[in-house]
Amino acid sequence: MKKLRIIMVGALAAGALYVVGPSTATAAPAPRALPAAQPKTGPGWHSPTPTTDLPLRVLARRHGLGVGTAINVTALANDTAYRERAAREFSAVTAENVMKWESLEPTRGQYNWGPADELVAFAQRNGQKIHGHTLLWHNQLPAWLTEGVADGSIDSAELRRIVKNHITTVVKRYRGKVRSWDVVNEAFTDDANPVLRDTIFRQHLGPDYIADALRWAHAADPTAKLFLNDYAIDGINPKSTAYYELAKELRKRRVPLHGIGFQGHLDLQYPLPIDAPQNLARFDRLGLETAFTEVDVRYFLPTDTYKEAGQVGSFNTLLSACLLTPKCVMFTVWGFTDKYSWVPEWFEGQGAATPFDENLQPKPAYRGLQQVLAVASDPNRRRGF
């Protein structure tokens, strides 16, 4: 309880908590003068102290927690400030795009390892672990593959060989370098009764393609932790329950599934998944690792202090859920700066979804993450990150 209380104090760092008791006064009290506007003493109106103003990776270390970011490899090559921040703040990295199939094998049989290798080298230079993203996803597939399946020149038997070969080739190349893989990404539908998404993999390899993919990846690197990863499963809902049932079944069959990735793409216009701790706990009880893998919190621009406060609370709700879960190994943001975030391109009018602004300066969301990591008690150092 003590731990929960302290973490929740951090989660509420966005604003004040007022407790109003029953009124015993007979006459209305004279209205008090409004307090003077708070001085803007620092970024986010919050002056960090020396014990909290430390890089996230340093603050997360005593919890045994990896703190990661998606990396835009073009920015990594061209933007010094971006490179320095990425190295300073994070102990884990995920390729935003360059480990996806269309990027790795744009032409059949010809692998384009360069960008992914650059990211791996960067991570190794900076003592960062790598979360591999992603082996099988219905988006960002190479045209030769989707067109071949569509026109029938690649039949089901051949697709099975191609998929097995892809997983084996990629996982072997990064064996011992990539800590964990999103083996299948976004496998379920979003409706009230989620079912396996109708992808080319589901259609041609059958519903057990997930188990097959996990086994192939495990054979290629028995030390890598193998994850399923999806969005809109942060709280308890039909989709996260579908994952829970699948995970339970795969574990029972001794299929090598080691973790579930909760993407954590939040949007201030929708309810916050405040039951994330209970949701992660049920996967934890199955013996699985858990991780927030793609956290960002978008909203409609322009920014105001209400939205900033909502964003602080949203980031901190997910971070707190992770800290409360013994085997939650990693908290990763989907880009750390608004300068390169995917959000404005995909959601018209929305943005500002990351912890650093376009000039790579810390926002209140960043200060909130620092606060929670700094004040949360009872660190669980045995997460295994």
Residue from 51, 78, 124, 139 touching ligand G3I (CB under 6 A): that is 139
Taking the least distance from each CB to ligand G3I, the nearer of 155 and 358 is 358
262 close to 276: Cβ distance less than 8 angstroms: yes
247 close to 286: Cβ distance less than 8 angstroms: yes
State the minimum distance, in angstroms, from the CB of residue 263 to ligand G3I: 6
CA 61 to centroid of chain Cα atoms: 18
Taking the least distance from each CB to ligand G3I, the nearer of 52 and 189 is 189
Residues paired with 129 in a beta bridge: 92
User: Shortest CA distance to 262 belongs to which of 218, 322, 337?
Assistant: 322
State the minimum distance, in angstroms, from the CB of residue 110 to ligand G3I: 16
State the minimum distance, in angstroms, from the CB of residue 59 to ligand G3I: 26
State the minimum distance, in angstroms, from the CB of residue 338 to ligand G3I: 13
Residue nearest to ligand G3I (CB): 342
3-state SS of 68-80 is EEEECHHHHHHCH
**Does 82 contact ligand G3I by CB under 6 A?**
no
Residue from 51, 107, 140, 203 touching ligand G3I (CB under 6 A): that is 140
User: Shortest CA distance to 279 belongs to which of 265, 267, 264?
Assistant: 264
Q: Which positions from 258 through 277 interact with ligand G3I, judged by CB under 6 A?
A: 263
The residues annotated with a catalytic role in the active site are 186, 294
Tokens 């569509």 belong to which residue? 150
Taking the least distance from each CB to ligand G3I, the nearer of 45 and 113 is 113
186 close to 227: Cβ distance less than 8 angstroms: no
Q: Which positions from 148 through 207 interact with ligand G3I, judged by CB under 6 A?
A: 185
State the minimum distance, in angstroms, from the CB of residue 9 to ligand G3I: 31
**Cα distances (Å, whole numbers) of residue 223 to 144, 172, 258, 326, 362:** 31, 11, 11, 21, 36
Binding mask 341-360 for ligand G3I (x = CB under 6 A): -x--x---------------
What one-character-per-residue DSSP string does 161-217 give? HHHHHHHHHHHHHTTTTEEEEEEEES-B--SSS--B---HHHHHH-TTHHHHHHHHH
Taking the least distance from each CB to ligand G3I, the nearer of 14 and 201 is 201
Residue from 61, 69, 76, 96 touching ligand G3I (CB under 6 A): that is 96
Residue 103, φ and ψ in degrees, nearest 5: -80, -40
User: Shortest CA distance to 214 belongs to which of 271, 153, 176, 260?
Assistant: 260
Residues found near ligand G3I in the complex (CB under 6 A): 96-97, 139-140, 185, 231, 263, 294, 342, 345
